[in-house]
Amino acid sequence: MATDLTAPAPVRPDVAPIQRRTLRLLFATQIIGGVGVTIGIAVGALLAARIAGTAAAGLAQSCGVVGGALLAVPVTRIMTGHGRRPGLVVAYLVGAAGGVLVVLAAATGWVPLLFLGMLLFGGGSAANLQARYTAVDLAEPARRGRQLSLIVWATTIGAVAAPNFAALADHTTGGWGLPPLAGPFAFSAAAFVLAAGVLLVLLRPDPLLTARRLAAADAPAGSVAAPAATARGAGMRAAWSAVRGRPAARLGIAAVAVGHLVMVAVMSMTPVRLGESHSDADVLRVVGIVLSLHIAGMYALAPLVGWLTDRLGRRPVILGGVGLLLAACAVAGTAGHHTPRLSVGLLLLGLGWSGTMVAGSTLLSESVPTGIRPSVQGLSDLTMGLAGAGAAALSGFVMRMAGYPVLALLAAVAAVPLVALALRPVPTGAPDEEG
């Protein structure tokens, strides 16, 4: 086929400054969003237990996880059609609305309103999770793990300190007439609105749309570029078809989902476990310390995890993450009411989650074509969220019927199949890691 030499060549943008600006902006909004998400997580189970009982604590936490999972579908559809910026903004605003509803539920004692608020509150988590994929739209192949992990790590600055702000937020808003444990959610709503406003104004040019233009410009003359062909028509069915034929993509989704399941199952009931041995006056302070260590494990070493992901490979880091998850379940499950040992278990739990999340997300993102990538990433977050939601929903019942040690044991059992999947040889010629 002859090439039209008179047609103007597409203008190729300089990607490096766009990527640097995108990373800086995502870094800042992850700090803000991390504060919002983590303050809510720190007191969500306690608030639900106070309003509706211990069993409902797990259900309320699962509503937040389910909300984040379900919102991943419309958010990624928005991103597929219009770019990362509107999708992230919508997710944060939905999370803010959820925070307001939780405050109203605390004031009225209406349990259905609490569950609805927690469902929408998951929008903040959905935005924070999608930001990690936004970071690799324009990343060089050899730096994908590090740049994705940088955005995961950014959450540390806000998230590690946030549980300790819960008591301050509660005390501050108590003077405004809000009931106990409602104030942290009011602060979360404000943080989400701020993050949405910053992204709406400053996330330009959109990294996903820029990546698609580059892919179209690099496509052979006369061919239909994959991003253009699939940008508006790629849904969950197309995403599943893309994943099903790629062993690396399947492992990436499984690593993210299983790591999240184990983490949520153990973490969500830890505040309740601490509440069994600490007074109401002391429990928020202790929960803040323990969860700060846990969140430090999740995020603080993410850059190192990302470097190892690029240096050693995706699969070895996934296996290392699973090993840490198993160790965490063993330590936390046998800690009894010994708070320092329980803190060590939660720290290991966060480190294991970081390994499976960073390496799994990187492996998934590079294993599928650009045009279908947002939908596949949405499918991954949906799968992860539903896995975590199931764990959170069951954790309260397991805690009540069998106790915290049995909960930790069941979480460890759930992680074992991932080892077999990660060790499974990749068939010769099968689509696998790109770049």
Instruction: Say if residue 341 is exposed, middle or buried (CB neighbours under 10 Å; 0-12, 13-18, 19+).
Output: middle
> Among candidates 269, 254, 261, which has minimal Cα distance to 412?
261
pLDDT in tens, the chain (435 residues): 444 444 444 455 678 899 999 999 999 999 899 888 887 776 777 788 788 776 667 677 778 878 888 888 899 889 988 899 999 999 999 999 999 999 998 888 888 898 899 999 989 989 988 998 999 999 888 889 999 999 988 877 776 667 667 767 776 766 677 787 888 888 899 999 999 999 999 999 999 999 888 877 766 555 444 444 444 555 778 888 889 889 999 999 999 999 999 998 998 888 777 766 655 556 666 777 888 788 888 888 899 999 999 999 999 999 999 999 999 999 998 988 778 888 999 999 999 999 999 999 999 988 888 778 888 998 998 898 888 878 877 888 888 888 889 999 999 999 999 999 999 875 544 444 444
The whole-number pLDDT of residue 312 equals: 93
Residue 305 CA to its chain's centroid (Å): 16
Q: Rounded CA gap, 132 and 153, in Å?
A: 10
The whole-number pLDDT of residue 278 equals: 57
Residue for token digits 């991003």? 227
Q: Rounded to the nearest 5 degrees, what angle is found at the Cα of 186, between the Cα atoms of 103 and 388? A: 75
Q: DSSP alpha helices (H): ranges in 53-134?
A: 54-82, 84-108, 111-134
Q: Rounded CA gap, 373 and 226, in Å?
A: 11
Q: Identify the structural domains of the chain with CATH numbers, from first to last.
A: 15-204+232-423 (1.20.1250.20)
The whole-number pLDDT of residue 129 equals: 85
Residue for token digits 């006369």? 222
Q: Rounded CA gap, 310 and 317, in Å?
A: 10
Handedness of CA 366, 308, 27, 291 (dihedral sign): positive
The whole-number pLDDT of residue 358 equals: 95
The whole-number pLDDT of residue 101 equals: 94
The whole-number pLDDT of residue 289 equals: 80
pTM to 2 decimal places: 0.77
Contact 356, 237 (CB under 8 A): no
